[in-house]
Each structure stands twice: as C-alpha cells, then as structure tokens.
Amino acid sequence: MTSTSPLPSGVLPLVPGDPSHLGPFRLFGRLGSGGMGVVYAAVDGNDRRAAVKCVHRSHAADREFRARFAREVRLVRRVRAKSVPAFLGADTRADLPWMATEYVPGPTLDRYVREHGPLRGMDVSVFARGVAEALVAVHAAGVVHRDLKPGNVILSPDGPKVLDFGIARAAEESALTRTGGLVGTPGWISPEQYGGAEATERSDVFAWAGLVAYAATGNGPFGEGTSDVVAARVLSEPPSLVGVAEPLRGLLERALDKDPGRRPTAVEAVAAIEPVGGTFTGAPRALAESAEAWSGYAPPRRSWPRRHRRALSLGAAGLTLALVAGVGLWALSEERLAGDGATGNVAGGTGSEGEPVGGAGGGGSIPADVPEEYRDLYENGIVTVAPDENAGDTLVRTIGSDGGGDALDQVRLDMSEHTWSYNMSPTITVTAEYLLDFGELRIHSNDFAMVERIEPEDTHLTTVPANSGGTLAVLSPEEPTAEFSLVFVTGGNASERDDVFAVYYVPGEVAHGGTRPEVGYPGGLCYLWRGAGMSESYGVPDPEEPTPFDATLSEGSPTNGCVYGPNKDLLSNG
C-alpha cells in the first residue's frame, strides 16, 4: 500500500536501502538516526503509531552488539508507566534486529527549550512529577536509566515521556555493562559516577533534578563548558537554581546533594510534588501529531483467522476428534483442569509431589532460541498468573524460579472489554500481548474458565468452561499481539438483581498437583452483572469495569473474593 499523503511533520523520507517492513510494522519515514541505528516512523494493521528502532546492518553481525541490544529490549519490556512509551514488539534475532515502542508526538525537552525557552507555570511541576513517576517505574523494575538528559525526554501532550534505555542497566546485571569507562552524558552525570562508582537509583535522581532545573530555567545547574569544567563544578560547587520557585527549589537542592545517601528516592520526589494534572498547558500541546496523519500509511489489515489459520486448523481438528470421542467442551475443560491423564501436566507446572517440571515456557518444550541466561528458568521454573498491579483488568503470566528469585513476565491479557447477553452470559474480548523476544506461546480455549460461586467448605474451584474451541492465539516476537473472544454460558435466567462471576486464566502449567486450582488461586477477574431494579424495565446492562479477584484466604476461604458464597448472597439480596 502506497500513500500519496505528505509525510507528518517531524518525519523524514526513507532513503534507498531502508526496509519497508519490520515485523507487523510498515515503515514510511525516518524519525532519526545515529551511529548505532535508525528510528523509523511506522504503523501496524491496528493503526498503532510506532517508533521502530532498527540496528544498522554493519552492527547486526556483531554478537556483542546484538547482546546489548537484546538487553535493552528486555529492560524496556520490564518498565510500564504512563511516562514511558509503551513497548509494542521486538525481534532481536532478525537479520536486522528491531524494537518497536509507542510513537510519542512532541519535541524533546532540549529542542523545546532551544526554540521556545523554559517551561512556565504549572508545566514545570507537570514535567518534574512525570519524569519522577517514570523513574519510580524504572527503579521498581530493577533498572537504572543512567542517561537522563534533555534529549531523552519528550514533551508529549499527555506529559513527559522518558526515552532511550540504550545504556540502562538492570540492577543485577553487570557483565555487559561494566567496561571500565564512565557511562552517561557530561553535565548529567552524578558526582559518585565521576568518582568511579557504579550508577544507582540515586544517580538517576541527581540527573532528574538537573533536568527539572533545565526545564524551569533553560540552564543546567552546573552551567556550560567543556566536560572537564562541568565535571569540576559537579564535584566541588553547589548547583545554581536561580529561577526555580519554591517548594520545588528545595527538593532539587536535596536531589543534587553530592552524597547520594542524602538524596530523596524517586518515590519521595513524587510524593513531594503536588499533583497538577498530567498534561501540559503550554506550547507542547500544539505540537501533537494527529493520528489521521499516519493512518494512510498503515499496512492492509489481516484478520485474526488469516494470521493464525494454521493454528485454527489444528485447533479445529483437535476439537473434532474430541467431539467424535464423545467429549463435550465442559468435559474437555474439566479434564484439563483436573490434570487428566490424557492431557497430563504441561511441562513447567508442578508434578504430583509439587516439584517443578521442565519446559515452563508453554507448549511442553523449551524454546530452541531461549537465551542461555534463562535456560535454567525454563527447565526448572514455575508458571504463575496474577493480576497486573498497575492495571486491575489485566492478568500477567510469569515464569519464576522456585525460590522466588528470577522471574520473567511472559504474556499480558487485557480482559477489560466485555458485554452481556439477556441470559447473564458474558462475552469477554481479550487482547494478548507477548512480552518476550524469543520462543512462542499458544493460548487455548480451555485455558479459561468461569467460577460462579465458592462455598466456605470448598478447597478447589468449580469451573464452567469457555464456549469456544481450539487454539485462540499463537504469540511470538513476530506476532506479539492477538485479540480473541471468550463466551461463557451461565445456564441462568436473566436477573433483576446484581450478580457477579469470576473468570480465570488457568494454563495447564498452573494446574497444581493433578487437581483443579485451589480456591486461593489468584489468576482471576471479577465481572459484575448489574441487574435492573424491580421497578425498572429489564434490559442488557452496560458493562462495569472488571476488578481483580481477591484470593487472600481467611480460615481457608477467600472471604473478600467476589464469588465467595455469603458475599454473593448479600449482593443478590441488595
């Protein structure tokens, strides 16, 4: 598909030799380039605007460079926050390794200050709090950014976005990053780094304070000059914060302390800044790029069945065999959840004695391309599912070590979109996002089940299967997202009173000990049926926002869980 539309502002034309597609993304222009690679403007079949970073061909053959790039991808996957561009996909083993993140419209802080001067009024607080919130997410993921500077923060209409994890470091990693040289950009490097110490979370806070001072005044807190001159000021002189208003000025003074132990954490910095909304009120809003300017460059849409026709064929064949054998969908789900011998424990769950079983990546075998650093995790790890702490309508599948150490998030399932039929049966639209840059994960219909009620004496869940068959999605770095629907038939009649159901993601790897999941299994969400009142005309209710199932046990039962029997009785009785 070729668009005759003019390129959106800020997008330069492609040059001869540039690729036209990377993964699901169609490239139509350049956003920037450097010695290591090119960042392309791109759109996928779902009209998502993306910035796709692609390694130069000359570096693609360098194994060490590929390893560094793969590490950057893993770090970006781990950080999820409003102030960090969303990760969209990657393939670090392609001929030209690439990574796609959300495209963020707007200028960098550096460009904006050069062209328009410093930020004014409440925009300074929006900037300071937004970047600090990004650091909270970065540090919570065990990552140190190490290169915060004006060119790495974009002023988007929705607030600042922190970019470029190219030299970020996971707190537990060192082999690829400790090369004996100083890492960072002069003027934004902390005193301890100049002294030869490794960058820490407090080093990021130091750089954050310098960024905020620059945003508020147009000048760095240690002025300009050669690298040696600026370094000497950082080591021995107090920062200049003339023009920064209180109370922000006092916070920046503490954050720029020479002793990292006396600086606030990013969490403390956020708490010290009064919330003023997440958007800019000044010029950056006018620089936003409309989505329509990009949509003409999107590749032709491919339906989900076309993208997964082989998996669907296999799933349909499997379902046909099951039906021929006289096994209905209910029995199919119950057998799998019960660890029936025909299905068995999928490798990577727990055996009958509760011991880890190898191959926890899904599909019963270890991916051939699993990095060596994760091989033990895939051989001996345990799969868990739990609600996303930052999004209550999303479940996350994780593979972790038995002792609770290393862990990798494998897939996120956004299950927020749902509708109801007149007989109280919900249809849930699931958006699945694969989070790894190796292997693949198959999602099956019988991985999902509904629970209508948990009685106080129950020890395991009594489930209702999804009324859908076969393979629903095959996720991989090349196809990192998929959308599918789950239909559950409750067998009940339309009710004028409120009711609630829990829907669980229960892959075979978490069916413990050859039984159904225990009542304390956390991998579920609550969906509320809002019945019409006795005096109201009956109709299909508008969907309510789903909430995480509270699996916390009290005397052996999840008494705060939405489908706990006594709680449901109270709900139904008004």
> Which conformational region is residue 342 in: left (phi greater than 0), alpha (psi within -120 to 50 degrees), or beta?
alpha
Model confidence at 48, pLDDT cuts 50, 70, 90, reads confident
3-state secondary structure 179-209: CCCCCCCCCCCCHHHHCCCCCCHHHHHHHHH
Rounded to whole angstroms, the Cα distance separating 151 from 111 reads 8
Lowest mean pLDDT among 134-143, 182-191, 441-450: 182-191
pLDDT at position 477, please?
84
Distance CA 564, CA 569 (A): 9
Residue type, 168: A
Q: How large a percentage of the chain has pLDDT more than 90?
A: 23
Task: Say how far apart CA 95 and CA 51 lie, in whole Å.
Answer: 19
Most confident of 68-82, 189-203, 275-289, 557-571: 189-203
- Which positions ≥6 away from 251 have C-beta within 8 Å? 209, 264, 269, 272, 273
Q: What is the mean pLDDT of residues 489-511?
A: 79
Top-ranked range on mean pLDDT: pick from 26-35, 202-211, 325-334, 371-380:
202-211
The verdict on whether 147 is a catalytic residue reads yes
For residue 262, what pLDDT is reported?
A: 97
Between CA 275 and CA 259 the distance in angstroms is 28
The type of residue at 370 is: V
SS3 527: strand
Closest CA to 475 of 523, 430, 428, 433: 433
- N residues, the chain: 574
Q: Using 50, 70 and 90 to split pLDDT, how confident is the model at 348?
A: very low
Percent of the chain whose pLDDT exceeds 70: 76
Residue 408, H or E segment: strand 407-420
Separation between Cα atoms, residue 516 and residue 339, nearest integer Å: 8
Mean pLDDT confidence for 175-196: 67
d(CA 201, CA 204): 5
Alpha-carbon span 302 to 322, nearest angstrom: 30
Please state the rounded mean pLDDT for residues 410-431: 86
pLDDT of residue 557: 85
User: According to the model, what pLDDT value does residue 328 have?
Assistant: 31
Q: Are the CB atoms for 211 and 222 separated by under 8 Å?
A: no
Return the structure tokens found at 348: 């990577």
The pLDDT value given to residue 535: 45
Domains of the chain with CATH codes? 21-103 (3.30.200.20), 109-287 (1.10.510.10), 304-572 (no CATH)
- Answer for the pair 124, 216: CB distance below 8 angstroms, yes or no: yes
Assign 403 a pLDDT band (cuts: 50, 70, 90).
low
- Which of 568, 550, 503, 522 has the alpha carbon at shortest distance from 333? 503
Is the predicted pLDDT of residue 427 greater than 50, yes or no? yes
Residue 166: per-residue pLDDT: 61
Indicate the angle between helix axes 122-140 and 248-255, nearest 10 degrees.
Answer: 40
C-beta of residue 31 within 8 angstroms of C-beta of residue 39: yes
Q: What pLDDT is attached to residue 404?
A: 60
Mean pLDDT of all residues in 31-51: 84
Please, how many CA atoms are within 13 Å of residue 120, restricted to the half-sphere of its CB? 6
pLDDT at 503: 93
Closest CA to 134 of 113, 112, 156, 117: 156
DSSP 8-state secondary structure symbol assigned to residue 400:
E
Distance, CA of 489 to CA of 493 (rounded, Å):
11
Q: Tokens standing for 186?
A: 């002069």
Sheet holding 524-529, edge to edge: 464-465, 448-451, 499-505, 524-529, 547-548
Highest mean pLDDT among 233-247, 386-400, 421-435 belongs to 233-247
Please tell me the predicted confidence (pLDDT) of residue 314.
Answer: 35
pLDDT, averaged across the chain: 77
How far, CA to CA in Å, does 381 sit from each of 103, 354, 356? 35, 12, 6
DSSP per residue, 50-83: EEEEEE-HHHHT-HHHHHHHHHHHHHHHH---TT
**What local confidence, expressed as pLDDT, does residue 546 receive?**
87
- Which residues are registered as beta bridge partners of 397? 385, 411
pTM for the full model? Answer: 0.56
pLDDT at 212: 97
Average pLDDT over residues 446-474: 86
φ/ψ of residue 124, rounded to 5: -65, -45
Confidence band of 33 (pLDDT split at 50, 70, 90): confident
pLDDT in tens, 531-560: 765 444 556 677 788 888 888 888 888 888
When mean pLDDT is compared across 103-112, 378-387, 512-521, the lowest value belongs to 512-521
Per-residue pLDDT, averaged over 150-156, amounts to 91
Asked whether residue 53 is marked as a ligand-binding residue, the answer is yes
Catalytic residue (choose from 91, 147, 158, 257): 147
Average of per-residue pLDDT across 253-280: 92
Q: Distance of alpha carbon 109 from its chain centroid, rounded?
A: 25
Least reliable range by pLDDT among 115-124, 144-153, 312-321, 509-518: 312-321
Lowest mean pLDDT among 127-131, 143-147, 317-321, 380-384: 317-321
pLDDT, one tens digit per residue, over 291-339 is: 566 766 765 544 333 333 333 333 333 333 232 322 232 233 333 343 3
CA distance 418 to 555: 33
- Residue 298 has a pLDDT of 61
| Among candidate residues 524, 329, 308, 537, the one with its CA nearest the CA of residue 422 | 537
Mean pLDDT of 381-402: 84
- For the ranges 25-39, 401-415, 444-458, which has the lowest average pLDDT? 401-415
pLDDT at 494: 64
